[in-house]
Structure 1
Amino acid sequence: MKRYVIYRRVSTTDQGKHGHGIDAQKRDIALFLQNFSEEPFEVVKEFEDHLSGKTADRPELAKALEMVRKTGAELLVAKLDRLSRKVSFIATLMDDPKVKLRVASMPQADIFQLHIYAALAEQEREFISARTKAALAEAKVKGKKLGGLRPRTEARNKALQVNAKARAERVAGVVLPLRAQGVSLRKIAEALNTSGVPTARGGSWQASQVKRVLERLEGGG
């Protein structure tokens, strides 16, 4: 019989946003159990923290992991970021031979794909936020026109360029190692699609888009 220990986490700022609320997590977990779990299954116990993902001390998660290690059940979470937003924590957990992890919103994902997703999500938060602010600040300080463009247009174009580079860097951890191994652009696109990584417009990856990413990463533009 398949056994699960369920863990949910919500913070005050997350409540009701982007499907992070407790009700949304319960819904996603129920959908997983109804449609993707092996049968029969048993929910051993449920745990719930009301803390920020940045908080290292999460007592209910510690209890959930203790029960997982003791019973051999799988730890089931609605989304990967409900477990943690730090890829280092998730990677350490995945290396624990006594912990098996399942993510309801990615029911078919294996450990390798979950690790990629965690790394990309962390990079996205860091790069897009920090570098967009830096680009806008730089354009404001310079306060000059390029090619007859108004300062606002210049700043906007600069921000677009920075965002494009940030998105390229977001997938660098997948694209560059595969390319170094001689994997084709088409196969790299398939790997990104399989891992559930969306393009800038939320679509599927094509070889031409992977090529542009490599050009941005290698050319610095």
Structure 2
Amino acid sequence: MRAALYVRVSTEDQAKEGFSLDAQTKRLEAYCRLKGYEISDIYRDEGCSGRNTERPEYKRMMEDQDNWDVLVVLKMDRIHRNSVNFTLMMDDLRKNKKEFCSTQEKIDTGTAMGRFAMDMMQRIAQLESEQIGERVKIGMARKAESGEGYMGSGHPYGYVYERGSLVVIENEARVVRDIYSMHQRGMSLRAIADALNHSYILSKKGGRWTHQSISKIVHNPLYAGYVRWTYFDEHTQKTRCIIRTGDHAAIVNKGVFESINGPIE
């Protein structure tokens, strides 16, 4: 069986005895001799965190799967410190009919007991992930119900997100009001985008306006001083939409928004 050996140290690990790349490599080589594995290649990531997959040798190893049959690591935390990424890796290995072996935890998916242990670990990781997701949803729903804070991400046009609150940027706010005014006069979203582009007014990210970016402004109650959060309710199996008065300043008044979109609540 052809083995891919993966060793990793992060900066904090390098000072720990037994975790150097060379020490890990020697122990894995000895394990392969004991098992009769042929070493296909050794993949060494130095100074890389195990919490993400942005590691050059890890990526090379996963791309080289045609060249090996079993992935061997000293400890499971050498390959991943993130349970979700570990689960995704195992799914990929299973799909490509590759085995996984962690010598210190004595987990070998080439055996029935090893596969059982791995399956249980992945189920636990999945449970943890789902529980975190549920807690986040509950927290976000409560926040939306109370109207507390901004429910989106990034900095919406017309605002900047500072110290947990949305602050109006007045020169962008004037453009927002112009967009609503143009739409009230009957201009299409595409025509509004063209008008802004012809006037050399840049979007939030410094690019050109599109009808989609105009739509996000025209139909978002955020600009009338509200917060909206849409999520899938696992219990009712339906999509819920919560709209509440926010704690930020409105750019357009409620009447202007409702003349285009209908009643907010």
Q: TM-score, normalised by structure 2?
A: 0.39
More helix by share: 1
* Structure of greater relative contact order (alpha carbons < 8 Å, 6+ residues apart): 1
More strand by share: 2
